[in-house]
Amino acid sequence: MAKSRASARARNAIAAVMAVASLVGGRYMVSAPGEEPIPAAVRLAVDANIIPWEGLVLSSHWDRFSKRWDICHGDTLINGKPVTAGMRFTKEECYDILIKRLVEDYYKPLTRCIAGFDSLPVSLQASMISGAYNVGPGSTEKHTGICGSSAARFARARNYYAACEAQTAFNKSGGQFVQGLDNRRKNGDATRIGEAELCESMPATGLPVRPN
Protein backbone atom coordinates (compact mmCIF):
# COMPACT_ATOMS: atom_id res chain seq x y z
CA MET A 1 0.00 0.00 0.00
CA ALA A 2 1.17 3.53 -0.82
CA LYS A 3 2.87 5.59 1.86
CA SER A 4 1.46 8.97 2.71
CA ARG A 5 3.16 12.09 1.37
CA ALA A 6 2.96 15.87 1.44
CA SER A 7 1.53 17.72 -1.55
CA ALA A 8 1.18 21.16 -3.10
CA ARG A 9 -2.63 21.05 -2.87
CA ALA A 10 -2.46 20.35 0.86
CA ARG A 11 0.06 23.15 1.39
CA ASN A 12 -2.28 25.48 -0.51
CA ALA A 13 -5.19 24.48 1.74
CA ILE A 14 -3.11 25.19 4.84
CA ALA A 15 -1.95 28.55 3.44
CA ALA A 16 -5.53 29.59 2.63
CA VAL A 17 -6.66 29.10 6.23
CA MET A 18 -3.55 30.56 7.84
CA ALA A 19 -3.85 33.67 5.65
CA VAL A 20 -7.03 34.61 7.55
CA ALA A 21 -5.96 33.32 10.97
CA SER A 22 -4.83 35.41 13.93
CA LEU A 23 -2.87 34.37 16.99
CA VAL A 24 -5.21 34.79 19.97
CA GLY A 25 -4.11 33.66 23.41
CA GLY A 26 -1.52 31.34 21.95
CA ARG A 27 -3.96 29.75 19.48
CA TYR A 28 -4.50 30.43 15.82
CA MET A 29 -8.14 31.44 15.37
CA VAL A 30 -10.31 32.38 12.39
CA SER A 31 -13.62 34.22 12.28
CA ALA A 32 -16.08 35.79 9.87
CA PRO A 33 -18.27 38.83 10.48
CA GLY A 34 -20.96 37.96 13.00
CA GLU A 35 -19.38 34.60 13.90
CA GLU A 36 -17.62 33.43 17.03
CA PRO A 37 -13.89 32.81 16.41
CA ILE A 38 -13.00 29.14 15.98
CA PRO A 39 -9.61 27.39 16.02
CA ALA A 40 -7.88 27.56 12.65
CA ALA A 41 -7.34 23.81 12.88
CA VAL A 42 -11.11 23.25 12.98
CA ARG A 43 -11.63 25.36 9.85
CA LEU A 44 -8.77 23.54 8.09
CA ALA A 45 -10.21 20.15 9.04
CA VAL A 46 -13.64 21.21 7.71
CA ASP A 47 -12.38 22.65 4.43
CA ALA A 48 -9.66 20.15 3.56
CA ASN A 49 -10.87 16.85 4.98
CA ILE A 50 -14.30 16.56 6.54
CA ILE A 51 -16.68 18.17 4.04
CA PRO A 52 -14.89 16.70 0.99
CA TRP A 53 -14.92 13.18 2.45
CA GLU A 54 -18.22 13.20 4.28
CA GLY A 55 -20.17 15.02 1.57
CA LEU A 56 -23.55 16.58 2.30
CA VAL A 57 -26.86 14.78 2.85
CA LEU A 58 -29.82 16.97 3.76
CA SER A 59 -32.14 14.05 4.62
CA SER A 60 -31.12 11.28 7.02
CA HIS A 61 -29.92 8.06 5.41
CA TRP A 62 -28.72 4.65 6.58
CA ASP A 63 -24.95 4.05 6.63
CA ARG A 64 -24.38 0.40 5.80
CA PHE A 65 -20.85 0.39 7.26
CA SER A 66 -21.55 1.92 10.68
CA LYS A 67 -25.16 0.63 10.71
CA ARG A 68 -26.48 3.99 11.91
CA TRP A 69 -28.55 6.84 10.51
CA ASP A 70 -26.55 9.94 9.61
CA ILE A 71 -27.24 13.34 8.09
CA CYS A 72 -25.49 16.51 6.92
CA HIS A 73 -21.72 15.86 6.87
CA GLY A 74 -21.84 12.37 8.36
CA ASP A 75 -23.40 13.45 11.66
CA THR A 76 -24.85 10.59 13.69
CA LEU A 77 -25.86 12.77 16.68
CA ILE A 78 -27.80 16.04 16.69
CA ASN A 79 -27.99 17.91 20.01
CA GLY A 80 -26.79 14.76 21.74
CA LYS A 81 -29.49 12.54 20.28
CA PRO A 82 -29.09 9.88 17.56
CA VAL A 83 -30.11 10.80 14.03
CA THR A 84 -33.31 9.02 13.00
CA ALA A 85 -35.21 8.39 9.77
CA GLY A 86 -37.04 11.37 8.28
CA MET A 87 -34.80 14.14 9.65
CA ARG A 88 -33.97 17.07 7.32
CA PHE A 89 -31.82 20.23 7.48
CA THR A 90 -30.70 23.01 5.13
CA LYS A 91 -27.10 23.32 3.92
CA GLU A 92 -26.54 26.30 6.21
CA GLU A 93 -27.96 24.46 9.22
CA CYS A 94 -25.70 21.51 8.47
CA TYR A 95 -22.62 23.73 8.35
CA ASP A 96 -23.45 25.35 11.69
CA ILE A 97 -24.09 21.92 13.23
CA LEU A 98 -20.74 20.67 11.93
CA ILE A 99 -18.70 23.58 13.29
CA LYS A 100 -20.33 23.46 16.73
CA ARG A 101 -19.93 19.69 17.03
CA LEU A 102 -16.30 19.79 15.92
CA VAL A 103 -15.39 22.35 18.54
CA GLU A 104 -17.33 20.80 21.43
CA ASP A 105 -17.19 17.06 20.71
CA TYR A 106 -13.85 16.60 18.93
CA TYR A 107 -11.48 19.56 19.24
CA LYS A 108 -11.98 20.09 22.99
CA PRO A 109 -11.61 16.37 23.88
CA LEU A 110 -8.34 16.31 21.92
CA THR A 111 -7.04 19.33 23.87
CA ARG A 112 -7.80 17.42 27.07
CA CYS A 113 -6.19 14.12 26.10
CA ILE A 114 -3.14 15.52 24.29
CA ALA A 115 -1.20 17.98 26.41
CA GLY A 116 -0.35 21.09 24.44
CA PHE A 117 -2.57 20.11 21.51
CA ASP A 118 -2.98 23.80 20.57
CA SER A 119 0.78 24.14 20.17
CA LEU A 120 1.03 21.34 17.59
CA PRO A 121 1.33 22.32 13.92
CA VAL A 122 -2.12 23.37 12.70
CA SER A 123 -2.13 20.73 9.94
CA LEU A 124 -1.44 17.98 12.47
CA GLN A 125 -4.25 19.27 14.68
CA ALA A 126 -6.59 19.37 11.68
CA SER A 127 -5.80 15.83 10.56
CA MET A 128 -6.40 14.52 14.09
CA ILE A 129 -9.69 16.45 14.36
CA SER A 130 -10.78 14.91 11.04
CA GLY A 131 -9.74 11.47 12.25
CA ALA A 132 -11.61 11.94 15.52
CA TYR A 133 -14.73 13.02 13.64
CA ASN A 134 -14.56 9.82 11.62
CA VAL A 135 -13.56 7.27 14.29
CA GLY A 136 -14.35 9.10 17.55
CA PRO A 137 -12.13 10.96 20.05
CA GLY A 138 -12.22 7.94 22.35
CA SER A 139 -10.38 7.68 25.64
CA THR A 140 -6.72 7.51 26.65
CA GLU A 141 -7.54 5.25 29.60
CA LYS A 142 -9.61 2.82 27.51
CA HIS A 143 -7.22 2.95 24.53
CA THR A 144 -10.03 3.86 22.16
CA GLY A 145 -10.39 6.35 19.32
CA ILE A 146 -7.80 9.00 18.52
CA CYS A 147 -7.07 9.81 22.19
CA GLY A 148 -6.11 6.21 22.88
CA SER A 149 -4.12 5.74 19.69
CA SER A 150 -0.44 5.62 18.83
CA ALA A 151 -1.01 8.83 16.88
CA ALA A 152 -1.91 10.63 20.13
CA ARG A 153 1.09 9.10 21.92
CA PHE A 154 3.46 10.33 19.22
CA ALA A 155 1.79 13.75 19.22
CA ARG A 156 2.34 14.06 22.98
CA ALA A 157 6.01 13.23 22.39
CA ARG A 158 6.13 15.86 19.60
CA ASN A 159 7.10 13.20 17.08
CA TYR A 160 5.02 14.80 14.36
CA TYR A 161 5.89 12.58 11.43
CA ALA A 162 5.15 9.41 13.41
CA ALA A 163 1.83 10.88 14.57
CA CYS A 164 0.83 11.59 10.96
CA GLU A 165 1.68 8.05 9.91
CA ALA A 166 0.16 6.31 12.92
CA GLN A 167 -3.33 7.64 12.21
CA THR A 168 -3.35 5.81 8.86
CA ALA A 169 -4.00 2.60 10.82
CA PHE A 170 -7.69 3.57 11.08
CA ASN A 171 -8.60 2.14 7.68
CA LYS A 172 -11.08 -0.55 8.67
CA SER A 173 -14.80 -0.70 9.39
CA GLY A 174 -16.29 -3.66 11.22
CA GLY A 175 -12.82 -5.21 11.21
CA GLN A 176 -12.59 -5.15 7.42
CA PHE A 177 -10.20 -3.09 5.31
CA VAL A 178 -12.01 -0.34 3.37
CA GLN A 179 -10.16 1.23 0.45
CA GLY A 180 -12.05 4.51 0.79
CA LEU A 181 -10.98 4.82 4.43
CA ASP A 182 -7.38 4.01 3.49
CA ASN A 183 -7.50 6.77 0.89
CA ARG A 184 -8.90 9.20 3.45
CA ARG A 185 -6.26 8.31 6.01
CA LYS A 186 -3.35 8.58 3.55
CA ASN A 187 -3.09 10.37 0.21
CA GLY A 188 -6.72 11.03 -0.67
CA ASP A 189 -7.79 10.70 -4.28
CA ALA A 190 -7.97 12.84 -7.41
CA THR A 191 -10.19 15.49 -5.82
CA ARG A 192 -9.83 15.03 -2.04
CA ILE A 193 -6.89 15.57 0.31
CA GLY A 194 -5.96 12.69 2.62
CA GLU A 195 -5.43 13.25 6.35
CA ALA A 196 -1.77 12.18 6.39
CA GLU A 197 -1.20 14.13 3.18
CA LEU A 198 -2.49 17.23 4.95
CA CYS A 199 -0.68 16.39 8.17
CA GLU A 200 2.72 16.01 6.49
CA SER A 201 2.33 19.20 4.46
CA MET A 202 2.93 21.44 7.47
CA PRO A 203 5.64 24.14 7.14
CA ALA A 204 9.14 22.71 6.90
CA THR A 205 10.02 24.04 10.36
CA GLY A 206 7.21 21.99 11.88
CA LEU A 207 8.12 18.52 10.65
CA PRO A 208 11.39 16.59 10.79
CA VAL A 209 12.80 15.40 7.48
CA ARG A 210 10.94 12.30 6.38
CA PRO A 211 13.02 9.19 7.21
CA ASN A 212 14.18 7.02 4.33
pLDDT of 208 > 60? The answer is: no
**SS3 labels along 150-203:** HHHHHHHCCCHHHHHHHHHHCCEECCEECHHHHHHHCCCCCCCCCHHHHHCCCC
Range of the domain at 135: 8-202
Determine, yes or no, domain membership for 123.
Answer: yes
Specify the pLDDT at position 66.
80
Helix, strand or coil for residue 113? helix
Looking at the domain assignment, is residue 1 inside a domain? no
List pLDDT tens digits, range 49-105.
999 999 999 999 998 888 999 999 988 888 889 999 999 999 999 998 999 999 999
Return phi, psi of residue 153, to 5°. Answer: -60, -45
Backbone angles phi, psi at 4, to 5 degrees: -75, 160
Task: Answer whether residue 207 is part of any domain.
Answer: no
In a domain, 13, yes or no: yes
pLDDT exceeds 50 at position 19: yes
Query: Could you tell me if residue 147 is left (phi over 0), alpha (psi between -120 and 50 degrees) or otherwise beta?
Result: alpha
The mean per-residue pLDDT over the stretch 20-45 comes to: 89
What pLDDT does 159 receive? 95
Q: Is residue 97 part of a domain?
A: yes
CATH classification at residue 88: 1.10.530.40
pLDDT at residue 210, as a whole number? 45
Whether residue 1 is predicted with pLDDT greater than 70 in this model: the reply is no
* Beta strand spans in 16-92 (E): 22-24, 27-30, 38-39, 57-63, 68-72, 77-78, 81-82
- In a domain? residue 211: no
**Which tens digit of pLDDT belongs to each residue from 92-121?**
999 989 999 999 999 999 999 999 999 999
pLDDT at 2: 57
Determine, yes or no, domain membership for 157. Answer: yes
109 within 8 A of 145, measured Cβ to Cβ: no
pLDDT in tens, 120-163: 999 999 999 999 998 999 999 888 999 999 999 999 999 999 99
Confidence of residue 206 (pLDDT cuts 50, 70, 90): very low
Domain count of the fold of the chain? 1
With respect to residue 208, please indicate whether it lies within any of the assigned structural domains: no
| pLDDT of residue 170 exceeding 90 | yes
Q: How confident is the model at residue 33 (pLDDT cuts 50, 70, 90)?
A: low
How many Å apart are CA 102 and CA 72, to the nearest integer? 13
